Chain A
């Protein structure tokens, strides 16, 4: 990994969450790259969309959960 991040470095840092654990100087370099690279900004927006879509798809109660809760309470109380 060179001092000046490539598109590949930026894409990796965005998708493996290592951006948050990078040094401050590294984060500045990654942000500078993003500021001038439309392709990387598009990629980051797509990863953000995937995270949001996952929360909206799998982070909400399923229709059958209300009945299931009643069954579980009855079994755990018995």
Chain B
């Protein structure tokens, strides 16, 4: 359904319009809220608040962004507020130094990068990924979730997180390399 038709139905409170909105967006929004560090209960509240805010302000929604970008933007701010309340110590690992250490003076690999490449994503590897993702900062995790899992464009992801395209690239670089380094450690210890 196009955003325009959905908005028209929601504004008119047509039967099925709220159900359709919830059906389409609940799982992706919950996945994002969980990945952004919220507990199951906080994630549910943040998703509900985001949908409520959207429905309350629907008359003022001007369609300058897509509905998906708008909802993820509201959710991102809700999650940031909750994370500030439950502030935890962030990992301070310097990814740039770890990455640079993989290469010699001419920028050539010092050793073969190792890790899963073609393997099926089974339960054990999913558990590794979940564990490795804990080392990502909130911003790195948010950028990775929006770009990789939600397949958003750079423009959409920048709008939601509030960073420049260059900064988004840095966040993606650090997120992927932290995950890869962590997976490599687990892979070689198997």
Contact = CB atoms under 8 A, between A and B. Distances in A.
Asked if A and B are interacting partners, one says: yes
Interface of A: 6-9, 11-12, 15-18, 39-40, 42-43, 45-62, 64-65, 68-69, 71-73, 75-77
Given A50-B129, A58-B145, A68-B44, 10 more contacts: A7-B108, A7-B109, A17-B172, A46-B117, A49-B118, A54-B145, A55-B148, A58-B31, A73-B19, A76-B52
A57 B130 contact: yes
Contact of B51 (A39, A42, A76): A76
A40 B183 CA distance: 17
A72 B47 contact: yes
Interface of B is mostly: helix
Interface residues of B, number: 56
Given A72-B47, A76-B52, A76-B55, A54 B148 contact: yes
A12 B51 CA distance: 38
Contacts of B147: 17
A65 B26 contact: yes
Nearest to A46: B115
Contact of A53 (B18, B22, B102, B129): B129
Nearest to A4: B107
Contacts, number: 133
Main secondary structure of the interface of A (DSSP, over half): helix
A78 B173 CA distance: 44
Contacts of A18: 169
A12 to B, nearest CB: 6
A78 B32 CA distance: 26
Contacts of B173: 12, 15-16
Nearest to B175: A15
Contacts of B107: 6-9
B6 interface: no
**B44, B55, B99, B180: residue with the most chain A Cβ atoms closer than 10 Å:** B180
A39 B18 contact: no
A50 B189 CA distance: 18
